Structure 1
Amino acid sequence: MGRIILLIAVAIFAWLAVQKFKYSPPEQRRKLVIQWVLIALALGAVLLAVTGRLHWVGAAVAIVLPILNRLWRTFGRHLPWIAPLIAKHAQARAQKQQEKSQRARSEETGEGQAHGKPESEPQLTLAEARKILSVPANASREEIIGAHRKLIQKFHPDRGGSDYLASRINAAKALLLKNLDGQ
């Protein structure tokens, strides 16, 4: 009876894995396969431990570890020859991933191509910046920084505020300080 339940559980797991694999994007499939293999190995180890058959697995690991150590040292000597190939491949993958994330980010925010800023976000005027930070027209540098600090503590995204409000508060501070330095 226990074997039948185990067989049914394995069949359900395999069916779910195939369905998830089918409907996942191609770039995530390798990651999914690695995760499933690790989960299967962990479940297999638990099953062997429960049934009392784990002792031979420990012996197999004890045999394989010195062999892997020797192989690692052997290939480690040749690593200077292999390292440029690995670095070039890693750099190409990182660049591809960076381009993909930038494309996704620009699609999410609707960034304009000309200036790299969202088209829906208008430029701040000095009056709007003062209004956002609630400072007078003749505010000093310390007043501007203090007002910014007080507001950003309330509206920072890490504290439950929105990215939009935090960016407007930062833009207001930058504009007022730039204007103050320009006078």
Structure 2
Amino acid sequence: MSTTLIVVGLGLAGAAYVGRLALQTGKLVSQNAHKIPKPSFSSYYKGGFEPKMSKREAALILGVSPSTSRTKLREAHRRIMLLNHPDRGGSPYIAAKINEAKDYMESQSKKSM
């Protein structure tokens, strides 16, 4: 009889611990949910890619203005790569074009300095 009470007590304590852990994990997930970038498909780049990258195309791919600052360029690149990275199910071709656009924009900003 006392063994049964001990086993039931341990079972309840274990269930309470797992429930508390689940609640804490749920709170952490909901607190960090706003940090994950949301895809916005309202202003995505429509059309194919040009054979040679231009400043206009690079700016359209990254979603920035052609005369944007270096920090905004890097933020835009990071945001888009988080959504399109091949390790997360994105296309390697699209990721290559995003990287090419960033490199092109950075090289153009170096030339204008």
* TM-score for both structures, normalised by structure 1: 0.34
| 1:28-177 paired onto structure 2 within 5 Å | 122-177=51-106
- 2:92 pairs with 1:179: no
1 or 2, which has the higher helix percentage? Answer: 1
**Number of positions where the alignment pairs a residue of Structure 1 with one of Structure 2:** 64
CA distance in 2, matches of 1:157, 1:137: 26
Using the aligned pairs only, state the percent identity: 39
Structure 2 residue aligned with 1:42? none
Q: Which runs of 5+ in 2 are unaligned?
A: 1-48
Structure 1 moving runs of 4+ over 6 Å: none
In structure 2, distance between residues paired with 1:138 and 1:150: 18
Letter in 2 for 1:162: S
- Between structure 1 and structure 2, the one with the greater Rg is 1
What amino acid does structure 2 have at the position aligned with 1:177? E
Deviations 1:125-179 (A, max 9, x none): 1100000001012200001100000000110100000011000000000000000
Compared CA separation, residues 121 and 167, structure 1 to 2 (3 A):
farther
Larger relative contact order (CA 8 Å, sep ≥ 6): 2
In 2, the alpha carbon distance for the partners of 1:177 and 1:123 equals 16
Q: One-letter code of the match for 2:88?
A: R
Instruction: Give the Cα–Cα distance (whole angstroms) in 2 for the partners of residues 169 and 138 of structure 1.
Output: 17
Q: What RMSD in Å do the two structures reach over aligned CA positions? A: 1.6
Gaps of 5+ in 1: 1-119
- Measured against aligned partners, the alpha-carbon deviations of 1:52-91 in whole angstroms (never above 9, x if no partner) come to xxxxxxxxxxxxxxxxxxxxxxxxxxxxxxxxxxxxxxxx
Task: Provide the rounded CA distance (Å) in 2 between the counterparts of 1:121 and 1:166.
Answer: 16
Q: 1:121/1:129 Cα in 2 relative to 1: closer, same or farther (>3 Å)?
A: closer
Q: Which residue of 1 aligns with 2:15?
A: none
